[in-house]
A and B are shown apart, each in its own frame.
Chain A
Amino acid sequence: MGSEGQAPVKLSVQSAVGAAAEGKVEAQRVHEVSAPSRAKRMDLNGVNIYYGKFLAVEGVNLPIEPRAVTAFIGPSGCGKSTVLRTLNRMHEVIPGAYVTGEVLLDGQDIYASNVDPVNVRRTVGMVFQRPNPFPTMSIYDNVIAGLKLEKGRRIRKSETDVVVERSLRGANLWNEVKDRLKAPGAGLSGGQQQRLCIARAIAVEPEVLLMDEPASALDPISTLAIEDLVHELKTEFTIVIVTHNMQQAARVSDTTAFYNLAGIGQPGKLIEYGPTQEIFSSPREKQTEDYISGRFG
């Protein structure tokens, strides 16, 4: 908790990735090979999310600041994961799902008719609740899977070597796996697999990183490792994280958005959002206070 708020200070005095790798001698190369931060802001304007005829989430207006962590909290079924999945058009994978309203990425509506969802997902990366490395691929191949999609198979080994090292260092996994990059990714522990998935997501240098309860399937030690990582990553990426764990939201996020639903079958709504400090110390809404004080949910 003590380190919260320090990362932005570092950002002002040195390069974005430098802050992430600070204090790690072996991470010096990171400075040389990483691209400058391209983090973008997102804005949701009057977003309604439907599954077929069912209105799942109603009327979301929310700014998401670049180079900061925005946490989505709320009880199960309130639509926080649904909102997250609209940010990279992943909810469209479910047949019949669609969105009305605007989701802006640096001012451009990602649901405009001339926008390809494939390109949106290359810009807005995602990490899922359960670690999902490709089981048939090695650690190395998992990391460059997205890169291969983008650039085709004709990509030089020297180039991928650099990306693999940078991404695994970025995900704080390099030291644990550098001697077995050819081993299957599915052979790692749960926490390592999740960091591998983060490395895979950041290897394509997205502008926004979405995390859907990334630590909920992990033990406390691995959870801490992921939280530390989120702290470091926010110097380079815009991060949106869904969490069931309110302490986690308090620890990692700069902004917190609280979602709730009036009842079963009712659409979820964004109740309020604001700086995490304020949401947790003096929320404006009664139901936010009830939720974060543990009175329901």
Chain B
Amino acid sequence: MATLTRPPEDDAAPAEIEGSAVRRGDRVFRGLALYAGIGVLVVMGAIAVFLVWRSIPSLTSNSVNFFTYQEWFPDDNPPTFGIAALAFGTFMTAIIAMIIAVPIGIGAALFIAYYAPRRLAATMAFIMDVLAAVPSIIFGLWGLQFLMPNMFGLTEWMNDYLGFIPIFENTQGIYTKSIFIASVVLAIMILPTMSAITREVFTQVPQAHREAALALGATRWEMIRVAVFPFSRPGMISGAMLALGRALGETIAVALILSALFTINWHITEPGGNTFAANIALKWNESGPNGLSALVASGLVLFVITMVVNMTARWIIARRAEFSGANS
């Protein structure tokens, strides 16, 4: 035993590597990250609980089918209201906006990333970022005051030459305050979002992949098709989903432009249409208790729709994760 007893002066050496495996900085940071993560979940849960709780009174009082009824009279007796027209208007404006904005956004991003001279590219990227930060009320005013009066030519032309396709037909001869104009304004609003994100992912495609394509004899467009698009696909989908989220939830610009009518009208150049968000904004101050509850119920539907859209996007991205390039 005597050999195992160390002299006291040797105690200093092992002490240098002794100590707790967890340092204070790590513990504090771990705690902060944990509570931040929990906080996000709590807020999400609280919103969902609030929406469900506040919508129950109106939903139980409703005397018609909430999902298929088009009109909105929640404060009548008996209350009759439904989201069919709201859902139609929301999806129609968002889809048309996406059809316009996604190709243009990707094209602009490609131009900035791979075609434009460096100085022009930097300027354009800056302007795109500024455009993304313009408040939506400005877009709404601009759409109402400038765009709408100046779009008669286009919408009339669509009626005259494309009118055989039902959605372009205009039976009223009135071309203002339509779903189509709201969609164009929405498209312009989501364009910078779409473009800024896709530009970012385009420029992050590794040089090695682009050179691999060029060395095989790819033209610039083929290089983009073979190396840039596949690598950027998850980022492009994320950008499109963020843009779609903004389009679905956009309130004030749409509320300004649409003439709120609770009917499903497939003639998109005619006045009319309404969306969840715009309807909540327009109706909130003139609603009784049941009306407020009904608006919350429509908000709950919008909340669920945006969640479904985002989850679908994540599923699309995850489906081909092993081919994503994240492991190279």
Judge if B203 is at the interface, Cβ distance under 8 Å. Answer: no
A135 engages B217 (CB within 8 Å): no
Tell me the nearest residue of chain A to B227, going by C-beta. Answer: A134
Q: Is B261 part of the binding interface, using a Cβ–Cβ cutoff of 8 Å? A: no
- Interface size class, chain B: 20 to 34
Q: A138 — which chain B residues lie within 8 A by C-beta?
A: 323
Q: Taking A118-B219, A204-B216, A204-B217 as contacts, is the C-beta distance between A132 and B211 under 8 angstroms?
A: yes
Contact A90:B214 (CB < 8 A) given known A136-B233, A187-B327: yes
A122 at the interface (CB under 8 A from B): yes
B324 CB to nearest chain A CB (Å):
7
State whether B209 touches A132 (Cβ < 8 A): yes
- CB contact between B216 and one of A135, A187, A200 (< 8 Å): that residue: A200
Task: Kindly state whether residue B328 has any CB partner on chain A within 8 Å.
Answer: yes
Q: Which residues between 284 and 328 of chain B lie within 8 Å of chain A, taking CB atoms?
A: 320, 322-325, 327-328
Find out whether the CB atom of B212 lies under 8 angstroms from the CB atom of A118: no
A186 touches B214 (CB 8 A): no
Residues 189-205 of A, flagged 1 when their CB comes within 8 A of B and 0 if not, give 00000000100110010
Task: Assess whether A63 is interfacial by the CB under 8 Å rule.
Answer: no
Interface check B226, CB cutoff 8 A: yes
Please determine whether A122 and B208 come into contact, CB atoms closer than 8 angstroms.
no
Does A121 sit at the interface, judged by CB under 8 A?
yes
Please, which residues of chain B bring their CB within 8 A of the CB of A128? 208, 211-212, 215
Residue A145 interfacial (CB < 8 Å): yes
Contact residues of B: prevailing secondary structure: helix
Alpha-carbon gap, A213 to B320, bound state (A): 32
Asked whether B208 lies within 8 Å of A145 as measured between CB atoms, the reply is no
Which A residues touch B139, using CB under 8 A?
Answer: none
Answer whether residue A262 sits at the interface, using C-beta atoms and an 8 A cutoff: no
Tell me how far the C-beta of A193 lies from the nearest C-beta in chain B, rounded to whole angstroms: 9
Name B202-244 residues within 8 Å CB distance of A: 206, 208-219, 222, 226-227, 230-231, 233
Determine the chain B residues whose CB is within 8 A of the CB of A200 once the complex forms.
212, 216
- Interface membership of A167, Cβ < 8 A: no
Q: With a CB–CB cut-off of 8 A, which chain B residues contact A288?
A: none
Count of A-B contacts with CB under 8 A? Answer: 85
Neighbouring B residues of A95 by C-beta, 8 Å: 118
Q: With a CB–CB cut-off of 8 A, which chain B residues contact A119?
A: 217
Q: From residue A116, how far is it (CB to closest CB) to chain B in Å?
A: 9
B208 to chain A minimum Cβ distance, whole angstroms, is 4
Chain A nearest CB from B326 CB (Å) reads 8
Tell me whether A150 is interfacial, beta carbon within 8 Å. Answer: yes
Check if B209 sits within 8 Å of A135, measured CB to CB. Answer: yes
Across the interface, do B323 and A121 meet the contact criterion of CB distance under 8 Å? no
CA gap between A40 and B215 in the complex, in Å: 18
The docked-state distance in angstroms from the alpha carbon of A125 to that of B231 is 23
A136 and B323: CB pair below 8 A? yes
- Knowing A149-B226, A187-B327, the reply to whether A201 touches B216 (Cβ < 8 A) is yes
Q: How far is the CA of A196 from the CA of B10 in the complex (A)?
A: 59
Interface flag for A163 (CB, 8 Å)? no
Which A residues are CB-close (under 8 A) to B217?
118-119, 121-122, 146, 149-150, 204
> Within 8 Å of chain B (Cβ to Cβ): is A130?
yes
Question: In the complex, what distance in Å separates the CA atom of A88 from the CA atom of B327?
Answer: 29
Most buried by A among B219, B226, B230: B226
Note all chain B residues with C-beta closer than 8 A to A150: 217
Tell whether A93 is near chain B: CB-to-CB under 8 Å: yes
What does the 1/0 interface line of A77-94 toward B look like (CB < 8 Å)? 000000000001010010
Bound-complex Cα distance A90 to B320 (A): 31
If A90-B211, A93-B211, A93-B214 touch, whether A135 touches B327 (CB-CB below 8 Å) is: yes
Q: Tell me whether A137 is interfacial, beta carbon within 8 Å.
A: yes
Nearest CB of chain B from residue A266's CB, rounded to whole Å? 26
Query: Contacting B324 at CB < 8 Å: which of A90, A121, A135, A197?
Result: A135
Given A128-B208, A134-B227, A135-B328, A149 and B222 contact (CB-CB distance below 8 Å): yes
Bound: A133/B327 CA distance, A: 12
Q: In whole angstroms, what is the CA distance A130 to B208 when docked?
A: 8
The answer to whether residues A136 and B230 also contact, given A128-B212, A186-B327 and a CB cut-off of 8 A, is: yes
- B91-121, CB under 8 A of A: which get 1 and which 0? 0000000000000000000000000001000
Q: Which residues of A contact B214 (CB under 8 A)?
A: 90, 93, 121
Complex CA distance for A88 and B211, rounded to whole angstroms: 12
- State which residues 130-187 of A face B: CB under 8 Å: 130, 132-138, 145-146, 149-150, 184, 186-187
Which chain B positions have C-beta within 8 A of A136?
Answer: 230-231, 233, 320, 323-325
Q: Which of B206, B212, B320 has the most CB of A within 10 A?
A: B212
A205 to chain B, nearest CB (A): 12
Tell me if A125 and B216 are in contact (CB < 8 A). yes
Give chain A's interface residues, CB within 8 Å of chain B. 88, 90, 93, 95, 118-119, 121-122, 125-126, 128, 130, 132-138, 145-146, 149-150, 184, 186-187, 197, 200-201, 204
The 8 lowest CB-CB distance pairs between A and B, nearest first, are A135-B325, A122-B217, A136-B230, A146-B216, A126-B215, A132-B208, A121-B217, A186-B328
Pairs A–B under 8 Å by Cβ, sample size 17: A90-B211, A121-B214, A121-B216, A126-B215, A132-B208, A132-B212, A133-B212, A134-B209, A134-B226, A135-B324, A136-B230, A136-B231, A137-B323, A138-B323, A150-B217, A187-B327, A197-B212
Known: A128-B208, A149-B218, A184-B322. 18 other contacts (CB 8 A): A90-B214, A93-B211, A93-B214, A121-B218, A122-B217, A128-B211, A133-B212, A134-B212, A134-B227, A135-B231, A136-B320, A136-B323, A138-B323, A145-B226, A187-B322, A197-B212, A200-B212, A200-B216
